[in-house]
Structure 1
């Protein structure tokens, strides 16, 4: 298979991943309206952990090899951080809706660029810093802090974006020591332990139809992570990462059509600013990689 074919496949896989992620967010919001977030995330991680353990047991070396990490403590921190980020993200969907929450969450690539210097020691040029500043100006447009409509709840998806950006950077760091299979294993197992420690105290009965939605959420969670790993296997991250912004489009469509949310003009304008700034930082990062 040629490099072009690999990139094309990677792009389509990323598009599929962003669509599945958006569907997950919609189901999570629906279930969170009926049940507590802690139980929902816990059940989701139970299935995820079962999936990664089963996958690891069928690979060469089995579970023991999948669990062998050169940076165990960092893997535990990374996995726990993702589990906590999912809590915060789902809460933001319930409080703000999918449209506004995702408009703010789209800042995470900008946060990755801003934090890559202090966390990973990577060089960030002035052009990318300007783009980061413009991107956060877009967030201010979304939040409208000077027009009397700003709510503290609007900071929840920004916190989720920060946590996810930090998770992404730590994932890049552990990739220097561990394979993707090892990171995948630790993500599922530690996530299940962390969410169980909290969620088990919030268990409540779930009706039959809701269990169907819960099962769908579990299946989409496992499949999306598998497809994401596959996408990064067949194509360079810099080539497919810009397509991750499609999750904003898909999630907003679900919010508008299924949940009856509205798209305020300032949210649309701010989201465009954030996405354009993010795409510019990704482009500059790819240029830097090319020079290296």
Structure 2
């Protein structure tokens, strides 16, 4: 029997759609900023703003006990993976269209399927392996390594997907002993601290417009995570997770409107395969849960 009312599902679905829009907006603003500011500087300011906002919210509601963690080194490793995810994605945006970059990052569930048996001993079903095959086929179509247009920059979003998959798995491990508030606090603090060590070598002086965009960027990151957490209060992951793929559609629209980036037919085919690969796993999971 479902723990959520049917009306609540609708609210959760709208919230998840908003998550996709906010993340796509966040990535579009990142692409605008890195045209004129160093990637390292943009990432550092984004993490500073996000960390200050989330720390203030956590401390006001949880108190000083949020500083206690049983596995600080695990959170440090999570921070490195999160930075790897963010930086490879942003560097990729300097040369790869936003629609293709976003679609390639959505290969993360395939990497999770491959890595889960190694960390948790969880065996993937044949539907999950079919999803992995479809996803990687979509990747090959998008990057088209045999084409003269192939660029090594296409590998950066793929690296981002891998780092994000590892980050998700490490977060699952951290969640066994620490609360979500503790996990959020430490990954923010460690990420900002690590970036602070290198940002002096990439320092920039933004103008007023760029500072406004940087503040919006950090705020959007926090808003997306808040909406994501809130959506799961109304509906289950089997209902909501497929809607996360709306981010690819929003990113494609932003690419056309802001960057005059029209995906070619082969890219649309690859994006479609990655889209289907994700829906296949979640659709199968829904059937299994209903049968149970």
TM-score interval w.r.t. the shorter chain? over 0.9
Correspondence 1:23-172 to 2 at 5 A: 23-60=25-62, 62=63, 64-172=64-172
State the Cα RMSD in Å.
1.9
Structure 1 unpaired stretches of 5+: none
Aligned equivalents of 1:123, 1:286: Cα separation in 2: 18
Deviation at 1:20? Answer: 0.6
Q: State the SS of the aligned residue for 2:261.
A: coil
Deviation at 1:273? Answer: 0.8
The answer to whether 1:228 aligns with 2:213 is no
Which whole-Å deviations, capped at 9, do the CAs of 1:29-73 have from their partners, x for residues lacking one? 00000010111111111111111221122124x1x3212223222
Which whole-Å deviations, capped at 9, do the CAs of 1:162-209 have from their partners, x for residues lacking one? 111111121222222222212111222112112212223211111111
The answer to whether the 8 A contact 1:85-1:160 is kept is: yes
Q: State the SS of the aligned residue for 1:283.
A: helix
Alignment correspondent of 1:273: 273
The answer to whether 1:250 aligns with 2:250 is yes
Deviation at 1:289? Answer: 5.8
The answer to whether the 8 A contact 2:4-2:235 is kept is: no
TM-score norm. by structure 2 comes to 0.93
The answer to whether the 8 A contact 1:103-1:267 is kept is: no
Structure 2 unpaired stretches of 5+: none
Deviation at 1:246? Answer: 0.8
Aligned equivalents of 2:289, 2:121: Cα separation in 1: 15
Aligned equivalents of 1:2, 1:164: Cα separation in 2: 29
Alignment correspondent of 2:11: 9
The alignment of Structure 1 onto Structure 2 pairs a total of residues equal to 290
